[in-house]
Amino acid sequence: MTTTRRLGAAVAIAAAVACASSGCTVIPVSGPYTVSEVGPGDPLTKSFQRMIAIPPEPTWGPDETIRGLQAAMAAYPDDPTILPQYLTSEALGKWSPSGPVTVIADAFEVVSQGPRDDRGAVEKYEVKAQWVASIKEDDSYAPTAGPWDRPFELVKAQGGGYRVRSLPTGLLLTNSDVTRAYRPTNLYYMSGISQDKFVVDRVRLRLKPTESFAQTILERLLKPETAALEGAVTTSFPAGTKIESIRWSGEERVVINLSGPLDPLDLSVEHSLAAQIRYSLSRNEVAKGRVIEVQLDGEPYFVDRPESDEGWLDDSGDSAYYVSKGAVHYMGKDGPAGVVPGPAGEPHDGYSNYTLSKEGNSAPLVAATTSTGISVAGLTPEGQWQEVIQGTGLTPPSWHEDGSLWTYDTKNGFLLRYDPASGRGPERVSAPKLQGLDVTRLRIARDGVRVAVTTGKNTVQIGALTHDVSGTMLGNVQSLTTTEVDRGILDVAWADDEHLLVLAGSKAGQTLTQINVGDGETVGIPLEYQLTRLAAAGGRVLAEATDTKDRTKVVELNQDRQSWTAKIEKDAGTPLFPLG
């Protein structure tokens, strides 16, 4: 087995040529081109580069042919005419572009496997690369790791060159192809639990030369949510809704014309529809700061102004607290700010894993683990500690934005929900995907839908609270990250509705990473202290830190996201945000 030479570019890539989003024509002379697609000053578009592939050349060998085929795959959604020219009629009849898009590292090898038969009529090759990700048919982006290798069969073509006789189904793109032509995009759907909350759904959308990015976003918003949120969210767009046109009218107004079974007299739909459109556009830096005028069949429907912030994303509050000697304290901007009223502000032994409910019209509740279960107290002078869930194998409690308290009973394999408003004991919630797993933590996001679950010592999974006629269930569970065998997960905390902070450590040291739960994008955060607990909200990150003498303090990540500042220097730990 021999390896053909590695080519940084098997065929020349010309310098990018600027052209407007209306399109331009380029005559290739030596290989596939990337062509810039831009919309100067247009708030509805995104600049990007479009691949223009060329047919196989008679002088190309197998390596160049396979690389040209891969470039044709990158160009296929915009121009499907080039790729078939690389295939034999047999391959063309079997190959399909459907299915997940495979994303590999830019540097890949074409490895010869020798002739397939005695006559050498069929030559077999293998493409070897590092597997980066898959873009699934619902547009979700799933990072992967490890090697990727697949067989390709080639035959010599009449007139010179090669054609591909056999290849894996689906499109094969490099990481650079995806960076060039796709954009991470946040779509917003309504929570299936609370209709006044929105949940972000992260997808990868391909930019199209034939339409503005604003239209691409809204066309995708008309489709169902990704599998990660299936059954957990709803939409204001009734089935059959269409985007007839989107145009930029003047400097400050975007006009969207819809058609379909919308009721112009239903103000509740108008309200949520406006928020879905506003967030899905502006949070992706499209039409940001513009007035959005929505028409229905060309007639005025409603006008949404950029200052209309309904607080649909997160109104849980960012007041900070901490625990000292078992007592809950307020935390000011620069240090201690006093003890909370009532028994929750008094020292207690044997209480741990404190967590706070959402702030609202009434004082929040604090929950904590004891030796016999989970107890709750109000942050008021008359508040009393009351055991609400009994058990000795319970995960640290987590508050839901609807006011309920959740934990997982590891001894019996039950997910439990306690509603203080009902006055009844905890109820069981179905969680079939957790059966048989070693559940160690369960943290509900502030959107009230996503749930982070740690299992064993080093795995984080993400699920969603789904709803159907049978009730609520924790479903859609899928792996988010797994640390090395010798590194255990010490704590997790929701930074916001789409990012999870993961603290991991071993004898060799600790790591703190922020992971986008929608696409796995990971950012490392430098550490200056030995951390044990995390809390985050509103862009702030607090942590319990220990020094060399095992004394605890509360530290805060600075705005530069590179350094930390000690906020409570002595006898302080377990930093808390409401729902954090």
521-538, pLDDT tens digit by residue? 999 999 999 999 999 998
At residue 35, the pLDDT reads 57
What does the pLDDT read at residue 4?
35
The answer, yes or no, to whether residue 486 has pLDDT greater than 50, is yes
Q: Is the pLDDT of residue 512 over 90?
A: yes
Confidence of residue 314 (pLDDT cuts 50, 70, 90): low
Domains 52-180 and 320-576 share a fold: no
String of DSSP letters for 160-172: SSEEEEE--SS-E
Residue 412, pLDDT above cutoff 80: yes
Quote the Cα angle for 519-213-446, to 5°.
40
Please give the pLDDT value at position 333: 82
Closest CA to 198 of 182, 215, 221, 176: 221
pLDDT in tens, 57-107: 999 999 999 999 999 999 999 999 999 999 999 999 999 999 999 999 999
How confident is the model at residue 74, as a pLDDT?
A: 96
Is the predicted pLDDT of residue 10 greater than 90, yes or no? no
Percent of the chain with pLDDT over 90: 74
CATH fold group of domain 320-576: Neuraminidase (2.120.10)
Predicted local confidence at residue 223, as pLDDT: 97
Pair 534, 541: CB distance under 8 Å: yes
pLDDT at 555: 95
Q: Are strands 291-296 and 253-259 parallel, antiparallel or unpaired?
A: parallel
Return the CATH number of 52-180, one of 3.30.160, 3.10.450, 2.60.40, 3.30.200.
3.10.450
- Alpha-carbon span 280 to 273, nearest angstrom: 11
| The pLDDT value given to residue 20 | 32
pTM of the model: 0.89
What are the C-alpha distances in Å from 198 to residues 188, 272, 289, 446? 6, 9, 20, 10
* pLDDT score of 406 more than 80: yes
The distance between the two most distant Cα atoms of the chain, rounded to a whole number of Å, is 91
User: pLDDT by residue (tens digit) across 357-396?
Assistant: 998 778 899 999 999 999 999 999 999 999 999 999 999 9
Q: What tens digit of pLDDT does each residue of 242-295 get?
A: 999 999 887 789 999 999 999 888 877 888 899 999 999 999 999 888 899 999
Residue 9 contacts residue 68 (beta carbons within 8 Å): no
pLDDT digits 0-9 by tens, 413-425: 999 999 998 878 8
Separation CA 483–CA 459 (nearest Å): 7
- pLDDT tier for residue 32 given thresholds of 50, 70 and 90: low
Closest by CA to 74, choosing from 259, 191, 201, 206, is 206
Q: What are the extents of the domains in the chain?
A: 52-180, 181-304, 320-576
